[in-house]
A and B are shown apart, each in its own frame.
Chain A
Amino acid sequence: MRRTAPFVVVGLVVTAALAFFVSPHASSSPDGLNKVAIDEGFDRTEQPHALADAPTAGYAVRGVDDDGLSTGLAGLIGVAATFAVAAGLLLVVRRARGRSEATPAPARG
């Protein structure tokens, strides 16, 4: 079986580049749902987000004055967080399965 590590590393570099360099240039217009909400008048029902004071709320890192840099850094933080949470969750799932099996799998060398 071919190794996957090089693919994952290159993929993460591409992903980080998109998050850091491209996201500051994304459209800031309301998205499809928000536009419909504005047009149909139910945008007024939106409640403030419970975590609106988080240091990275709104894809901006608090304390970074440059808007592009702030968005790009938020993108990098998000990429790192999603990778870590997804991989961490699956590691837990895999270990839990290992424990639940009658005969533990032999350690791989």
Chain B
Amino acid sequence: MHIPDGFIDAPTSLAAGAVAVTGLAVCVHKTADSLEERDIPLAGLTAAFVFAVQMLNFPVASGTSGHLLGGVLAAVLVGPYLGTLCVSVVLLVQALLFADGGLSALGLNVVNMALVTSFGGYALFLLVRRLLPRTRASVVVASGVAAGLGVVLASLAFTVEYALGGAGGASVSTVASAMVGVHVLIGIGEGTITALVVSAVLATRPDLVHGAAHLLPHRRLVVGPRVAPEGVA
């Protein structure tokens, strides 16, 4: 779903760039408030994992492929603010190192694949999770459903951008139905992969899944070994 240069006109791309910069600034601000030392390598791993799995295009309908976007996965693992930053780093590296996703379209791609999936998808995750029992299985199901729907949300975001400033003169309603149609199929793959990964992390380190923090037993705030201040016996 990486938009190359040329599909969307400059004003729309610039506007999306402004939305992306604003959104990322909010994410940095929110992350800075709560960032712990151990979050840093975990966020690095999340970004690297999303990058790797984005390379794994799987076949969907005739002559078409799809790949994980990873926004919901990242949001469930490390929270929506940090998750958005992780996916945005992936998009930046893809555009700069691999010429994947146009430089003028970077804002559009951050909006569609990082902000819309991490926040829209995470909101859907919370909604589905609330409807289900308070179990790990519910977290897995909610992750999968939200991830699948998140891909469709991202395809709708592209359609809005195409309606605002799309090149080539295709009919917006045709683009909308074609985008949603193929991304429902890709969403099934996204949902399956997301559910499998969340399930695997929950099985090994449930304490590292942000979206399952409500299942952990309540702990005291001070969890590390406490060092007495100097001068105190």
Given A1, A35, A41, A58, which contacts B99 in the complex, CB threshold below 8 Å?
Answer: A58
Residue contact A50 to B5, C-beta cutoff 8 Å: yes
User: Inside 8 A of B207's CB, which chain A residues have their CB?
Assistant: 1-2
Residue contact B98 to A31, C-beta cutoff 8 Å: no
User: Inside 8 A of B168's CB, which chain A residues have their CB?
Assistant: 37, 40-45
Shortest beta-carbon distance, B188 to chain A, in Å?
Answer: 12
| Contact (A32, B60) CB under 8 Å given A15-B49, A23-B55 | yes
Would you call B224 an interface residue if the criterion is a C-beta within 8 Å of the partner chain's C-beta atoms? yes
Residue contact A39 to B178, C-beta cutoff 8 Å: yes
Residue contact B56 to A22, C-beta cutoff 8 Å: yes
Mark out the residues of chain A between 20 and 41 whose CB falls within 8 Å of any chain B CB in the assembled complex.
22-23, 26-33, 35-37, 39-41
Q: Mark A98-109, 1 if CB is under 8 A from B, else 0.
A: 000000001011
Residue contact B49 to A11, C-beta cutoff 8 Å: yes
- Dominant secondary structure at the A interface: helix
Range for the number of chain B residues in contact with chain A: 35 or more
Would you call B97 an interface residue if the criterion is a C-beta within 8 Å of the partner chain's C-beta atoms? yes
Given B35, B58, B65, B169, which contacts A93 in the complex, CB threshold below 8 Å?
Answer: B35
Residue contact A90 to B56, C-beta cutoff 8 Å: no
| Contact (A46, B5) CB under 8 Å given A1-B223, A30-B65 | yes
Residue contact A47 to B35, C-beta cutoff 8 Å: no
Residue contact B31 to A90, C-beta cutoff 8 Å: yes
Residue contact A47 to B102, C-beta cutoff 8 Å: yes
Residue contact B48 to A12, C-beta cutoff 8 Å: yes
Q: How far is the CA of A102 from the CA of B160 in the complex (A)?
A: 45
Given B44, B59, B60, B205, which contacts A84 in the complex, CB threshold below 8 Å?
Answer: B44
Would you call A64 an interface residue if the criterion is a C-beta within 8 Å of the partner chain's C-beta atoms? no
Residue contact A30 to B63, C-beta cutoff 8 Å: yes
Name which residue of chain B comes closest to A36, CB basis.
Answer: B178
Nearest first, the 9 closest Cβ-Cβ pairs linking A and B are A42-B168, A87-B44, A47-B6, A45-B167, A86-B47, A40-B170, A27-B65, A57-B99, A47-B5
Chain B residues close to A by CB (< 8 Å): 1-7, 28, 31-33, 35, 37-53, 55-60, 63-67, 85-86, 89-90, 92-100, 102-103, 155, 158, 166-171, 174-175, 178-179, 182-183, 185-186, 204-205, 207-208, 223-224, 227, 229
